[in-house]
Each structure stands twice: as structure tokens, then as C-alpha cells.
Copies of this chain bind each other. A is one copy, B any other.
Amino acid sequence: MATGAIDEASNMKVILKHYVSGSPQETDMHLTAGTIKLKASAGSNAVVVKNLFLSCDPYMIFKMMKLERHYSDPYTPGSPITGYGVAKVLDSAHPDFKKDDLVWGLTGWEEYSLITETNHMFKIRHTDVPLSFYAGILGMPGMTAYIGFYELCSPQKGEYVFVSAACGAVGQLVGQFAKLQGCYVVGSAGSNEKVDLLKNKFGFDEAFNYKEEPDFTATLKRLFPEGIDIYFDNVGGKMLDAVLLNLRVRARIAVCGMISQYNLEQPEGVHNLTSIVMKQARMQGYLVFEYYHLYPKYLEMILPKIREEKVVYVEDIADGLENAPAALVGLFSGRNIGKQVVAVNCL
């Protein structure tokens, strides 16, 4: 641990052992001790931060694989993995950040990080809300829900909305946004406990445990007798196929993610794409970081809603870096209930 005076600290790191294929396992990572200089060299534009919360995000699986032509580079085996996090600036050679600033953005899975790439680093200006929220509702997953739902789907009052992986970091927000917008919203999730949260905590009109539904097409037909106007797709695969058979005219599909496919050697086939023509539907993929210029607008909308408890946010906080690998791989079996975060250091 660093104290005010010393400028080198011991630093635990989560290291990727080797590239993975299929579902990542805890054993694909390990922890090692290192040290770090707590000084940013003058003129480097770098900052040194103490990491407070690390965010476990599904996209990290791609960086653990060696994929060709992916939008982001793979992790380097032997090096600490990176991801979104909430941190406190200890030293800064960057004009926009100063000591003691709180920030969220890309950082390392370690106690302290030297950050040289500050493009996607945001200063935290509102601290009357839990700091961990900046890894979730007030960070990347929050923006993902906001952009996918509002910007890409242009929801109208009374429309029929379906969200998959609905109890997760992104999904729980999409459901609540849909209710705020006057929509009817149904969510799917992988356990009865999650279904209960969807209905009783997040205010979804209906919810179902997809692991107990033998025929998604029939389930959706039952829950959406009029069809689906907006599908917020977090899972892809069979659920998407069933949605395609239940679209309303001019339906919009925000293709946020396809987590059911990420760990498959050969992705499943989707058979019902002719519905895209017949229903004049739109499927729109997006990557949230291309929309970060809208972050201030999002904050303006969401902060009052959090304060007035019109939007709630459930987090699943793992304690300590030693529990980070398990928390990360848990995303791919649905172990997380709500937004998966790892608490690393205290403020």
C-alpha cells in the first residue's frame, strides 16, 4: 500500500496466462505481485491512479482470445488485463487531470495503474451517488443502455419492448428506461431470482427464465400477442431467431451484444432473417464508445432519476482483486446478479 510519502508501491495484478478459446476460466488468469512508481513523468500526459472499482464486462472475452480483425487489440499474455474502472488520481502529467481527481475509464486490473491513454477517461464531478455507479449506470454500461434504447430505437409510448439478459448491467436499465417511456416491457434472464428482480425491483411488466422455456417463439408469442416493436438484443442466437418471428411492422432491434455466441467455436445459425424484409425491420449494431460525446447529455438525464429513485441500480460487488478472475468469468454463466464490479481499494 502506498502512503502519501513513498513514490513506489507494491502492486497486485491480474495477469492473462494465455489466450483462451471457448468460455474463459478462472485458471486462465493469475495474480502476481509487482511494484509501481507512483509518479507520472513530466511531459508524458500520463496519470497514475489508485484503482477503486474494476468493471467486469462481457467484451473482455474477445481480448482474451486471439481474434483476427477485431475492433480492439487482444490482451498480451503475461501482462495485466485492462478494463473499465473507477479510480483516484495520485499523480498527473496531464493538463486535464490533477491529484485527487476521481475518474472513470480504461485502466489496468491491478491496484495502481499508470495510464498513458486518457482519451476515454472521464472526470467524476458528482459524488453524492455511489462511486461504483461509475462502473455501471453512470459509466459505460449506462451509456450503452441509453444509446441503444433512446438513440437507436426511438421508443414511442405504448410500444412493445423486449430485453434479453435483462437483469444485467445494461438490461436492467433498458427495462426501466422503457417504463419511463411508457412502453410495455418484458425481460428474459437465467434464473428465477433474476426474474423476480425484473418484475419486483425494476418494474418490468413481465419476465421469464429462458432456461425453463422450451420454445422461445411460443413464449414470446404469448407475452407479445401484438408482436415486438423494439428488441434490445444482448444475447443473439436462438432468442434473436425467436424474436424475428414475433416482430411488428417497422420493428427496431438494437444489436447491443450476442453473449450467447461469444464462447462458441462455431456461432449458431439464425434462420428467420426474412422477417427483416417482411416486417420492414431494422437491426442496428453499435459500439458505445463512439457515442461518448453524448455522455454529458446522459448524465443530465440520469442523475436526477437516480437521486429521485426513479431509476434503481443493482450491483454485484466482488471484494478484492483476488476475486476478480472469478467475477469476470462468472458473466458467461450468469453468476452475476446485476452489474458485476470488483472493489479493489478503499477511497
| A 235-258 binary contact with B (CB < 8 Å = 1; else 0) | 010001000000000000001111
> Out of B262, B274, B277, B290, which one reaches A286, CB within 8 Å?
B277
- B271 touching A279 by the CB < 8 A rule? no
In the assembled complex, how far is the CB of residue A69 from the closest CB belonging to chain B, in whole angstroms? 9
The contact string, 1 if C-beta is below 8 Å from chain B, for chain A 65-98, is 0000011000000000000000000000000000
CB distance from A211 to the nearest CB of B (A): 22
Query: For the complex, what is the distance from the CA of A282 to the CA of B283, rounded to whole Å?
Result: 6
Q: Assuming the A-B contacts A255-B276, A276-B255, are A281 and B285 also in contact, with contact meaning beta carbons closer than 8 angstroms in the complex?
A: yes
Chain B residues whose CB sits within 8 angstroms of the CB of A285 once the complex forms: 275-282
B286 touches A280 (CB 8 A): yes
Q: Is A261 an interface residue, CB under 8 A from the partner?
A: yes
Nearest-Cβ distance from residue A255 to partner chain B, whole angstroms:
5
Give A201 Cβ to nearest chain B Cβ, in Å.
28
Q: A282-B285, A284-B282 are in contact. Are A258 and B277 (CB under 8 A)?
A: yes
Asked if A266 is at the interface of the complex by the 8 Å CB criterion, the answer is yes
- A261 adjacent to B280 (CB under 8 Å): no
A25 CB-CB contact with B under 8 Å? no
Q: Is A182 an interface residue (CB 8 A)?
A: no
Decide if B258 touches A273 in the complex (CB within 8 Å): yes
Given A281-B285, A282-B283: A267 and B276 interface contact (C-beta under 8 Å): no
Do A271 and B277 touch (CB < 8 A)? no
Inter-chain contact B282/A290, CB cutoff 8 Å:
no
Q: Is the CB of B290 within 8 A of A277?
A: no
Binary interface encoding of chain A residues 209-242 relative to chain B, with 1 for a CB under 8 A from any of its CBs, else 0: 0000000000000000000000000001000100
Please list 20 pairs of residues, one from A and one from B, whose beta carbons are closer than 8 Å in the complex, sorted by A's number.
A70-B278, A71-B279, A236-B274, A240-B273, A255-B273, A255-B276, A261-B274, A262-B274, A266-B271, A267-B273, A267-B274, A268-B269, A268-B271, A269-B270, A275-B285, A277-B287, A280-B285, A280-B290, A283-B283, A283-B284
Known: A255-B277, A282-B282. 19 other contacts (CB 8 A): A71-B278, A71-B279, A236-B274, A258-B273, A258-B277, A261-B274, A262-B274, A267-B274, A269-B269, A270-B271, A275-B285, A276-B283, A276-B285, A277-B285, A280-B285, A280-B290, A281-B284, A282-B284, A282-B285
The 6 closest A-B pairs by CB, nearest first: A269-B269, A276-B285, A277-B285, A283-B283, A267-B271, A255-B276
